[in-house]
Structures are given as structure tokens and as C-alpha cells.
Structure 1
Amino acid sequence: MEKLNTIIFYNIDKAIRTYRNYAQRQLKENGFEITIDQWLTIKAVLENPGITQNEIGDLVFKDNASITRIINLLAKSGYIIREIHSEDRRKTNLKVTDSGKEIIKKVQNLVENNRKIALENISEEEMEIMNNALIKISENCINSKK
């Protein structure tokens, strides 16, 4: 019987979870009162003006309930504001506030350092092979007709 540590998907999930835990710990240790998911959500809104909550969820791999909760917390913290859509009152437009833009800038150096540490001793060639393999896995699953 195969062992867990020989299953590629187990190792991918373990790497992702280990990295996220490390990154979250670094945020906390450096005095930032924001989560990785909140940071990703602000980035998604900043980089995609007019983005919907569903689209944010797709980008950051969260369900609607989680995104709603994250956006509520970001609005309460003053990082994002909601504006009623001019044509459809059931919709809201999300905008990143100045303090939201500031937290993104402040956290950016830490995020880059986290990535540098996580990718230490991995060559460019290994990175390219790994990235291409992960893209192929995603495409295989998306394009599967079974």
C-alpha cells in the first residue's frame, strides 16, 4: 500500500498548507492584523475593478459565504467600502480605501520575503518544471469529461 508522503497530491496540499501557516504566522509576528485571505481579497479588488464577490471567490479559492465574511471584516476594518450599484440596487461595488492600499504596500515586502524563504534551494529549472506540471494538472482536471 502506498504511503501518504509518496502521493503527489498529498505533498502539494501539505506544501500549500505549510506555506499558508508560515505566511500567516509571519503576518502576526510582524504586527499585521490581517489574514492571508483578507490580503488576497484586497489584492483581487485592487487588480480587478468592478469584480463581483463570486469572481473574487473564484480567484482566491473561497466559497460565497467565506468571501462575504471576509468582505464584511475588511469593510469593518476600513480597508474596503461597499457602494450601491447605480443600476441594480441588489449589487454592490467594492472599492479599496487608502488604508487598504496602504496595508497592501506594507505587507508586500513580507510576502516577497516569505516566498523567497519558501523557495530557497529550488532552482529556476525546478521552478519551471513544477509550475508547468501544476498548470497541466489543473488543465487536466478542468478539461476532463469524466
Structure 2
Amino acid sequence: MQFKDPSETIFYQIEKAIKQYRTMAQGNLNVLGYNVTINQILLMIQIKRQADITQVELANLLFKDVASITRMIELLVRENLIERAENKNDRRKKDLKITKKGEILLEQAIPIISKNRAIAQKNMSKEEVQNLFKLLNKIIINTSKK
């Protein structure tokens, strides 16, 4: 097999698509006037969905290290978008909760995120989306083997 220029591989296209999507998504979120990133919004969504989620679980879901999650949480606490409290049963754990200001942000951000996804998948059939999902999962499985 001949070695291809990186820009001619599917991995380059995947990375390019992700970066382009994130740029568009962040730009659309910025119009809300909050000082938050798309990753911080995604973190808040996970906290809202699962109140007892740990920082390790958040790190795994968002493909970040725990230190990055800790920094994101600290910034969101400073912006009064989430609250952090000591867990009553385990003092080593912290309970995270969305504040009223955070709830308002999510109410505004979620429709924008839905619109971003629709824009990115425009002109793609349901079948194409399903096939892409299957193909990407094959790459995930192939690269997860030990």
C-alpha cells in the first residue's frame, strides 16, 4: 500500500469536518453573549442529565482529561453557571448542580446546538447518516482492539 499524503486520508477529512463544525458551533453560541465554550455547554448538559455524574465520567464522555474537566468546572462556577458542593455521603466527591443562570443559558443554547447539527447534516439522507455512523463505529472498534 502506497503512503498517502495525510490530506488525502479519511482521518484528515474527519478532523477537518470536526474542526469546521466546532468553529461554526462556537460562533453560533457566541451570539448569546455568554463567555462559554461548546465543551462547557456539553459539560453542563451532562450535569443536568445526570446529577450524580463524576468528573471522571465527564472526562470520558467529553474526551478530556480530568484536569481539563476540573478547570472547566472552575470557570463555570466563577461564571455562576453551576454550583459545586461537598457530597454529604463522601467528602472526597463534589456534587454539581446547574444554577438558575445556567438553566437560562441551556434553554437558549440547546436550540442553537440542534440547529447546528441540522446545518451540518443538511443534504444528508437518513440512510447516509446511519451509514456514516456505522463506518465511524467500525473505526472506533478497529482502533480499540488491544
Give the TM-score, by structure 2 length.
Answer: 0.91
Q: Work out the CA distance in 2 between the residues paired with 1:116 and 1:126.
A: 14
Asked if 1:100 corresponds to 2:102, the answer is yes
Structure 1 portions without partners, runs of 5+: none
Q: Work out the CA distance in 1 between the residues paired with 2:106 and 2:31.
A: 17
What residue number does 1:115 align with?
117
Asked if 1:58 corresponds to 2:60, the answer is yes
What residue number does 1:40 align with?
42
- Residue 29 of structure 1 deviates from its aligned partner by 3.3
Q: 1:16 aligns with which of 11, 15, 18?
A: 18
**Letter of the aligned partner of 1:26 in structure 2?**
N
3-state DSSP class of the match of 2:91? coil
Instruction: Report the RMSD for the aligned CA atoms in angstroms.
Output: 1.4
3-state DSSP class of the match of 2:122? coil
Give the TM-score, by structure 1 length.
Answer: 0.91
Checking the alignment, whether the CA contact within 8 Å between 2:32 and 2:108 is kept in structure 1 is no
Structure 2 portions without partners, runs of 5+: none
Checking the alignment, whether the CA contact within 8 Å between 1:85 and 1:93 is kept in structure 2 is yes
Per-residue CA shift, 1:56-84, capped at 9, x if unaligned?
01111111111011000111111111111
3-state DSSP class of the match of 2:97? strand
* Shift in CA distance, 29/100, structure 1 to aligned 2, threshold 3 Å: closer
**Letter of the aligned partner of 1:42 in structure 2?**
M
Asked if 1:134 corresponds to 2:109, the answer is no
Checking the alignment, whether the CA contact within 8 Å between 1:81 and 1:97 is kept in structure 2 is yes
Q: Work out the CA distance in 2 between the residues paired with 1:49 and 1:11.
A: 36
Checking the alignment, whether the CA contact within 8 Å between 1:27 and 1:33 is kept in structure 2 is no
- Residue 121 of structure 1 deviates from its aligned partner by 1.4
Percent of aligned pairs with the same amino acid: 39
